[in-house]
Amino acid sequence: MASTHDHYYPARWPEWECRKPAEVGMSAEKIQRAIEFSQQNETELPHDLEMNTILKLDELYSELIGPVKERGDVTGLVMRHGHIVAEWGDTERVDMTFSATKSYLSSVAGLAFDRGLIRSVHDRAGDYVRDGGFDSPHNAPITWHQLLNQTSDWQGTLWGKPDWADRPEGDRSQWANRTLYAPGTHWKYNDVRVNRLALSLLRIWRRPLAQVLHEHIMDPIGASPAWEWHGYDNSWVTINGQHMQSVTGGGHWGGGLWISARDHARFGYLCLRNGRWQDRQILSEQWIRMARTPTGDRNRPEDTYSAQYGMPAKCQVTYGYMNWMLNTNKRLLPSCPETSFFHAGNGANIIWVDQEHDLVVVIRWIRREQLDEFLGLVLSAVERA
């Protein structure tokens, strides 16, 4: 196997070397079959996404408070050994990416960890962030680790949205009086808490997170200047006398990261190479291992969330930090290696990483329930020695 320094890395945007499938040990015919399959299984979401950013239409506080844009057509890109092997749709189009944003957010946390701004993920967030959000007896014990793996059970209202308003459970009359769980004991996919993480990271970086992402990740990997990271209309704070917008961890209620498939692919390639880009370790290997560590059996996501994302009713999602989604026991993607992982957002917006086959695949606006079959078709194109 080639050493890390022997790997090909694309030059800065817009440069990127392409290879014919046969040149990287893949079948052009089978890749074409995968492309056609994706085009035949476009998401049912209309191109006008404004009424589809709300994941549950029966939620209270469901009004949009951030920007939304129309989506593009089915778009995809396949990379092997760092080279683009195939791409279809408009891979330069900047689209909403919904909860795939969370993987970029957790990477900003990784940058803070690598620089000592977070000394230990098991430290209490309230020992770093003193804005009142962690003052209550319930919130005080919450750690960075729990914020990142979505087990914090943070209680409160942020940007006009109470925590219980996102994917409420049980009888509607009891939503505002939800059961409280000790931090670290209950997993819940909850964008209010994700946005609380984003605000907390803004507090310790003391500069807009989009600037941090640009300087320490997107610019070093040669991404285009077209991506944008949005917050909400009311998510502004003043730090060191400067007015800053706290960004969101997804497109729920609008906002989130808007980015092209090609820039997604560069981020996926950074993950494929364990945080390294050429001769620079952008995210430490320690952080990559932490981000890919399963949350744990007692805190696994509920089956209801699996169903929401088009997975079989008994298929449980396994998460690392935020939306580092793991293929533990091949529960999510039976056709793919257990070691593969992906970043995912509604739509579906997928960055799939397979280190065993040295592959990165970006696919956007495909039906999520067809993801495994699509990736299986891509894998079938890898010529066996």
74-92: average pLDDT: 98
Q: Is the pLDDT of residue 297 over 90?
A: no
Closest C-alpha among 151, 189, 183, 150 to residue 169: 189
Please determine, for residue 312, whether its predicted confidence score (pLDDT) is greater than 70.
no
pLDDT one-digit tens code per residue, 112-163: 999 999 999 999 999 999 999 999 999 999 999 999 999 999 999 999 999 9
pLDDT attached to residue 316? 53
* The two three-digit tokens of residue 99, written as one number: 């909860």
Digit-coded pLDDT (tens) for 31-58: 999 999 999 999 998 898 876 554 444 5
One-letter amino acid at 156 equals: G
In angstroms, what CA-CA distances link 22 with 86, 89, 272, 353, 375? 12, 22, 21, 20, 18
Tokens of 9: 């890395």
Distance CA 204, CA 12 (A): 30
Local confidence band at 311 (pLDDT 50, 70, 90 cut-offs): very low
Instruction: Give the least confident one: 164-173, 261-270, 327-336, 342-351.
Output: 164-173
- Measuring CA to CA, which residue among 236, 155, 241 is closest to residue 198? 236
Q: Which two tokens stand for residue 253?
A: 């209620």
Name which residue leads in pLDDT, 318 or 126: 126
User: Between helices 371-380 and 28-40, what is the axis angle to 10°?
Assistant: 170
Give which of 182, 75, 201 is closest to 131, Cα–Cα: 201
How far is the C-alpha of 281 from the C-alpha of 107, rounded, in Å?
13
Confidence of residue 299 (pLDDT cuts 50, 70, 90): very low
> In this predicted structure, what is the pLDDT of residue 254?
94
Q: Is the pTM of this model over 0.95?
A: no
- pLDDT of 61: 87
| pLDDT recorded at residue 53 | 53
Question: What structural domains and CATH numbers belong to the chain?
Answer: 4-56+75-87+270-380 (no CATH), 105-247 (3.40.710.10)
Start-end of H helices in 41-143: 101-114
- Percent residues over pLDDT 70 in the chain: 90
Lowest mean pLDDT among 82-96, 301-315, 328-342: 301-315
**Residue 174: pLDDT band by 50, 70, 90 thresholds?**
confident
Tokens of 107: 């990477």
Please, are residues 122 and 143 in contact by the beta-carbon 8 Å criterion?
A: yes
